[in-house]
Structure 1
Amino acid sequence: MKKLLLFLLAVAVCAGNAGAQAPSDWANFGRFEQANREQAHAPKAVIMGNSITELWAGKHPEFFASHDYVGRGISGQTTSQMLVRFRADVLELHPQVAVICGGTNDIAQNNGYISLPHILGNIVSMVELARANGIRPVLCSVLPAREFGWRKGLEPAAKICELNAMIRAYARKENIPYVDYHAAMSEPDGGMIEAYTYDGVHPTEAGFDVMEKILPPVIDSLLNGTKKHRRRR
């Protein structure tokens, strides 16, 4: 009887632990699972990102539709999470271009501390995955911010500038287009221009208007250059 009671107690403990530690979708594969299934054609570009991309696609769907772009941004995500879901949300859509926009939430330590070289490493891994699948990568600067409202005291402005310099140097070395939103949207102290943000991090309509002037020419130039190169061959 004693052994039976101990066995039943052990079973109850295991069941309780299983319930308490129910698996979570850490990378949020489920966010775009249905949208990916319903994507009827290979888009010109997939924009992989965080809440900035998510808000952009939500507020300006006509911009994405008219340029044949697909937004795959998830609020709060770090580059580690973006890398994990890169196959499902980018590669398997077979776009011509993968636009990679991440780093804000890494610097904000949303998943704990991560060094700038490791952030860059995640971005490099996404580039390598894209290239291995015949997709042209485009890299974006992290948008300016002097403070994160949800995690104050980190003084991110200088760290953002340092990470952007690392991304830009890697892009130059690898001959990858670099989209410099930061230069167009920042104040001298590294914060975002007031008219372009409602909370110091996320763009207003005016901020997205600036981004929409910068990105399409970069993608079109990349693809037009590719087409010309193929014709010469």
Structure 2
Amino acid sequence: MRLSHRFCLLSLVLLGVVCIGGFFVWQRARHFERLFYLTRLDPIGLNMIRNEPSSTASIVIFGDSRAATWPAPAGFSIINRGIPGHTSTQSLLRYRMHVSPLQPALVIIQVGVNDLVALPLLANDAESIVQTTIANLRAMVDLARADGNQVILTTIFPLGPNLFEQLDPGTGRIQTAIEQVNTAIRAMSAPDVIIFDSAAILADASGYVAEAYRADLLHINPKGYQVLNEALSMLLTDTQ
């Protein structure tokens, strides 16, 4: 009887794990389906940025969802031009429309992870995707410099995997590509291009985002942004 009870308990636990895993897979599938249709309807997100009242802010933050959810540090007024789901190619295509007309003195760029999360599905194109990401970042920096803007180029945040992503070998491939792109980003440092090493601030000894700062695979929580803004505030103060 005891053996039967243990078997039933084990079966229930396994069923629960399968159901939870299935729910997360379904949730992610719906998320990517939504992004797929949004991209088809508005490829570079021209309708996702609303015209704002005139602002005296001289700083723009630009990029993907990690930029879109990045709150302005206390004491600074920042115009946000981040769009969730955007790749570096989409960001590059819309730069002239979403940033240049604002004539900022400083542009903060955080983008690239959405390119690299495609690697597990497009393994044969991995090196091309990495090099395109680097080239797009460099092109955005060049556009900002051509506009006479100073640039803060952030490294790409590392991943923050949960249990199911840790079991996926593709997670490690993405993480390796992030490190490769970040090495190229650090090499873009120049007198008018400041590298903000967000990856070094957020990562723990494993190289992934520290547990205290994780929201999900790609995103960080408010505490993560708080620790980033503590360092960013000092940097912005020094650039004024």
TM bin, normalised by shorter chain, reads: 0.7 to 0.9
1:207-226 matches, within 5 Å, as 207-222=224-239, 224=240
Q: Counterpart of 1:168?
A: 186
Contact between 1:177 and 1:218, CA under 8 Å: does it hold in 2?
A: no
Which of 145, 152, 156 is residue 142 of structure 1 equivalent to? 156
Q: Distance in 2 between matches of 1:102 and 1:168?
A: 14
Structure 2 counterpart of 1:99, one-letter code: I
Q: Distance in 1 between matches of 2:161 and 2:86?
A: 17
Give the 3 Å change call, closer, same or farther, for CA 29–64 of structure 1 in structure 2: farther
1:25-174 matches, within 5 Å, as 25-32=42-49, 34-35=50-51, 38-57=52-71, 63=72, 66-109=75-118, 114-145=128-159, 147=161, 153-155=170-172, 156-172=174-190
Structure 1 counterpart of 2:150, one-letter code: R
Contact between 2:155 and 2:199, CA under 8 Å: does it hold in 1?
A: yes
Runs (4 or more) in structure 1 with deviation over 6 Å come to none
Contact between 2:73 and 2:232, CA under 8 Å: does it hold in 1?
A: no
Any idea what SS the aligned residue of 1:200 has?
Answer: coil
Structure 1 counterpart of 2:153, one-letter code: L
Give the 3 Å change call, closer, same or farther, for CA 175–91 of structure 1 in structure 2: closer
Contact between 1:146 and 1:157, CA under 8 Å: does it hold in 2?
A: no
Structure 1 counterpart of 2:93, one-letter code: V
Q: Counterpart of 1:18?
A: none
Structure 2 counterpart of 1:92, one-letter code: P
Give the 3 Å change call, closer, same or farther, for CA 42–128 of structure 1 in structure 2: farther
How far residue 215 of structure 1 moved from its aligned partner, in angstroms, is 1.5
Contact between 2:156 and 2:182, CA under 8 Å: does it hold in 1?
A: yes
How far residue 39 of structure 1 moved from its aligned partner, in angstroms, is 3.6
Any idea what SS the aligned residue of 2:193 has?
Answer: coil
Q: Distance in 1 between matches of 2:159 and 2:117?
A: 11
Any unmatched runs of 5+ in structure 1? 1-22, 58-62, 225-233
CA-based RMSD of the aligned residues comes to 2.4
Contact between 1:48 and 1:72, CA under 8 Å: does it hold in 2?
A: yes
Contact between 1:43 and 1:93, CA under 8 Å: does it hold in 2?
A: no
Deviates more, 1:204-213 or 1:63-72: 63-72
Per-residue CA deviations over 1:87-114 (Å, capped at 9, x if unaligned) read 1111111111111111110111299655
The percentage of aligned residue pairs carrying the same residue is: 27
Any idea what SS the aligned residue of 1:167 has?
Answer: helix
Q: Counterpart of 1:20?
A: none
TM-score (norm 2): 0.72
TM-score (norm 1): 0.74
Q: Distance in 2 between matches of 1:200 and 1:24?
A: 26
Give the 3 Å change call, closer, same or farther, for CA 146–55 of structure 1 in structure 2: closer
Contact between 1:64 and 1:71, CA under 8 Å: does it hold in 2?
A: no
